[in-house]
Structure 1
Amino acid sequence: MSRRRAAVKRDVLPDSRYGDKVVTKFINSIMLDGKKSLAETIFYGAMDLIKEKTGQEGYEVFKTAIDNIKPQVEVRSRRIGGATYQVPVEVRIERQQTLALRWLTTYTRQRKEYGMMEKLAAELIAAGNNEGATVKKKEDTYKMAEANRAFAHYKW
């Protein structure tokens, strides 16, 4: 982290099929070893699978899932007088999106289905219906913030 000036935010190009920057960010988070075309194949294949399974447009399910996963509050560690408190704080819009994409990628990889395309489709459908591991992660974050609400006055 630079001490002189704030880091410049790099902007990503919108994806080719939907023209959405969030989709590009998600494809980049799926990508391993720089294999972007493989990550795009996985994502767009999952969108087609969602359309087959649910009958809804895959992109709409993706947007709904991201909205269901985004956390509004989280806890941050704050050291005060020798004790460390978990202080609940509101989450900025950019961080909400980043956390949602990160959790979605992490819990998609942990699923038991065969193949990343099937895993991603299943996790997006579950998150779109407000269930699944990613939504559970968000709820656990909320429970932690609620349990530590007494320390909210330590916000900075």
Structure 2
Amino acid sequence: MRKRKPKVRIVEPDPRYKDTVVTMFVNNMMWAGKKGLAYKLFYDAMDIIDEKTEEGGYETWKKALDTVMPQVEVRSRRIGGATFQIPTEIRPKRKVATGMKWVIKFARQRNGKSFSEKLAAELMAAAKGEGAAVKRKEDTHRMAESNRAFAHFRV
């Protein structure tokens, strides 16, 4: 790269759990700059999980995020007129961001009354190793495994 690396932005920890990863999750959930509403929805989902499980909302959320994070992904690379899907390992920050985005995306697609209930259901399913976000991770890993023969093209 010709330009210098961009400065890493400092993320403030959230008010309840004092965790910067929670703030990043809420920032991904947020629509139209409504951060207060995003926090309310997230904390409501944590309360719903607290009621339904004995483990606790925060622990379930962390477990779900660990379950959903992909280890490898495929990237398209054009070599000699043909396009190959090359499996590559993912940077740690990208793993977390991808996992968060998948959980939020599939929570929005779920059936339910409120977003808090949808998010709680998706997080509980992901913590158990079920749900659409976990299926997406498994599909990504399966695709990387099937294209393992092209790993030597990696940059």
Considering the TM-score relative to the shorter chain, is it more than 0.5?
Answer: yes
CA distance in 2, matches of 1:16, 1:134: 27
**Structure 2 equivalent of residue 113 of structure 1:** 112
Alignment deviations for residues 99-129 of structure 1 (CA, whole Å, 9 cap, x no partner): 0011111111000111100000000000000
**Structure 2 equivalent of residue 58 of structure 1:** 57
User: 2:74 is paired with a residue of what secondary structure?
Assistant: strand
User: 1:33 is paired with a residue of what secondary structure?
Assistant: coil
- Paired residues for 1:38-57 under 5 Å: 38-57=37-56
TM-score normalised over the length of structure 1: 0.97
**Structure 2 equivalent of residue 142 of structure 1:** 141
Unpaired segments of 5 or more residues in structure 2? none
Query: What residue identity is the alignment partner of 2:102?
Result: W
1:6: how far off? 1.2
CA distance in 2, matches of 1:61, 1:13: 22
**Structure 2 equivalent of residue 29 of structure 1:** 28
Alignment deviations for residues 28-84 of structure 1 (CA, whole Å, 9 cap, x no partner): 111111111110000000000001111221000000000001111110111101111
CA distance in 2, matches of 1:146, 1:88: 8
**Structure 2 equivalent of residue 12 of structure 1:** 11
Alignment deviations for residues 4-42 of structure 1 (CA, whole Å, 9 cap, x no partner): 211111121000100111100000111111111110000
**Structure 2 equivalent of residue 89 of structure 1:** 88
Aligned length: 155
Query: What residue identity is the alignment partner of 1:13?
Result: E
Runs of 4+ in structure 1 over 2 Å off:
none
Query: What residue identity is the alignment partner of 1:66?
Result: L
User: 1:17 is paired with a residue of what secondary structure?
Assistant: coil
**Structure 1 equivalent of residue 99 of structure 2:** 100
Aligned CA-pair RMSD: 0.9
CA distance in 2, matches of 1:21, 1:49: 22
1:130: how far off? 0.5
